[in-house]
Amino acid sequence: MVSGFWFVLSDFHVVTNLCVLWHSPLRENVADREHTMIDKADGAELQTTNQKPETNNRKPQTKNQKPETYKWWVVAMLWFVCFFNYADRQAIFSVFELLKSEMHLSDVQLGIVGASFMWVYAAIGPLAGLVGDRINRKTLIIAGLVFWSLITIATALSTKYSHLVLFRALEGFGEAFYFPASMSLISDYHGPGTRSRAMSIHQSSVYAGTIAGGSVAGVLGQHYGWRSSFYLFGSLGILLGIFLLVVLREPARASSTDSMPEPRPSGRGGEVKNALKTVRELFAIPMVRILTAVFIGANFVAMIFLTWMPSFLYRKFNLSLAMSGISATAYLQIASVLGVLSGGVLADRLAKGNRGGRMLTQAIGLTLGVPFIFLAGWTLSVPVVIVALTGFGYFKGLYDANIWASLHDVVPPERRASAVGFMNSLGWIGGGVAPVAIAAASERFGMSACISANSVIYLLVAGLLFYGIRRHLWAPHGNAS
């Protein structure tokens, strides 16, 4: 089985080359005929420079122009990629009890299975951001999707603990390249007027995928064994990758309007120096440091709920495996979808007349989520825990809707993918500690107390974000950079 896995690894290189070969003629064809990028308040659209105006003053369409609606089709396509990104990673948490029984694992070992994905995901994040700023993003997105889908199928072949850790780690490697590339792609299709809405719609796929992964894995695991959901999600992801190879298009990259593109050093040493310079430039911005710290804390709390809530409901309330998987994800994530959609609209409105409006929306969401986190761990009633999960999910959505849009508000356009990569990496370091920490702490204090204690973390990061907004964005001569 392990030797067969190395064949799966080699497929990632093959898929990447196929994507490059497929895309290169299209990119050259578009580059020859599309010369000007106009960044409008409601989005970025491409025009050809050799058009002749019509007498009715309407802009003629050519087959090479991207219509206004295509930028929303891009969001829709990436929505499904992100859906599988999260369904594949969430599925394993709903079958922890089956894995524990079959492979005789402790809670700490299960925590390491969950954390192995997060640790590799975090380690690859900076590299993924740098790569996303330098090579074709369509290629990264599709190659990553096919690779992690193959790894998802390979996970179903696991027969012992070491296999689970290995395949979860490799899935983290494949999925790490998606978010920096996709967020940069959306930002180039959507200007300031629609960016938060576009990203919040895309963000809703995180919750839909989490619901599907947790619910489907729980139901299929109860009736057909824990491996069945991994075969299903992996196969569907590969089919989606083939479809996107045909229909997804790479736009021209935006750049800062107040500076000329800087030359990139040649050679490996030059690339290292350029990467270090990028890191220094990004973290010299005060709000980047604050947003990153807040993300670390918020992601720590989120990973505890994602990793351990199915087992918590199964053990404390004696729910079935299927109902534990559904209840742990559906109420929280459906509420998060509503929160993220309303958070996107609210943030866009606040950002029009209020510097830091997107971050203010996030801070409000974090603050209002505090009592629901405490209640989720403390209650002895199933209806009350459902209310707590729903409330936490909604206010978590207000924060999540603007994670990347807020970051993009304070970094140069040509550094967006790198900024997302570094912040995502550091956030997942915090997330990777969470599953193991809660498993170890629960042996002494109990799972209920440990879940409730996370309300303190939410309160602290909310206060830090309010401070950052007031100090660096609202204060006289305040500067985010």
User: Which of 304-318, 392-406, 408-422 shows the lowest per-residue confidence on average (mean pLDDT)?
Assistant: 408-422
Residue 360 lies in a domain: yes
Which tens digit of pLDDT belongs to each residue from 169-195? 999 999 988 988 898 899 888 887 888
Q: What is the pLDDT of residue 356?
A: 85
Residue 38 lies in a domain: no
Residue 10 lies in a domain: yes
Which tens digit of pLDDT belongs to each residue from 330-361? 999 899 889 988 888 888 888 887 778 899 99
Contacts of 21 (CB under 8 A, 6+ apart): none
User: Which of 63-67, 320-324, 402-406 shows the lowest per-residue confidence on average (mean pLDDT)?
Assistant: 63-67
Residue 481 has pLDDT above 60, yes or no: no
Q: In 216-311, where do the E strands start and end? A: none
Residue 141 has pLDDT above 90, yes or no: yes
Contacts of 358 (CB under 8 A, 6+ apart): 196, 347, 350, 351, 402, 405, 406, 409
Contacts of 446 (CB under 8 A, 6+ apart): none
Residue 199 lies in a domain: yes
Q: Are 439 and 110 in contact (CB under 8 A)?
A: yes
- Domain CATH number, residue 209: 1.20.1250.20
Arithmetic mean of pLDDT over the chain: 82
Number of domains in the chain: 1
Torsion of CA 218, 222, 223, 226, to 10 degrees: 70
Residue 130 has pLDDT above 90, yes or no: no
Residue 25 lies in a domain: no
Q: What is the pLDDT of residue 478?
A: 52
Domain residue limits at 351 = 2-17+67-254+267-474
Residue 1 has pLDDT above 70, yes or no: no
Q: For the packed helices 321-353 and 286-316, what is the interaxial angle rounded to 10 degrees?
A: 160
Residue 103 lies in a domain: yes
Q: What is the pLDDT of residue 28?
A: 40
Which tens digit of pLDDT belongs to each residue from 102-113? 999 999 999 999
Q: What is the pLDDT of residue 267?
A: 54
Residue 149 lies in a domain: yes
User: Which of 136-140, 198-202, 254-258, 288-292 shows the lowest per-residue confidence on average (mean pLDDT)?
Assistant: 254-258
CA 151, CA 66: separation in Å to the nearest integer?
Answer: 34
Residue 51 lies in a domain: no
Residue 33 has pLDDT above 60, yes or no: no
Tokens of 432: 């990777």
DSSP-derived pairing of the beta strands 43-47 and 36-40 = antiparallel
Tokens of 79: 């929505």
49-84 burial, b at 16+ Cβ within 10 Å, e below that, comes to eeeeeeeeeeeeeeeebbeeebbbebbebbbbbbbb
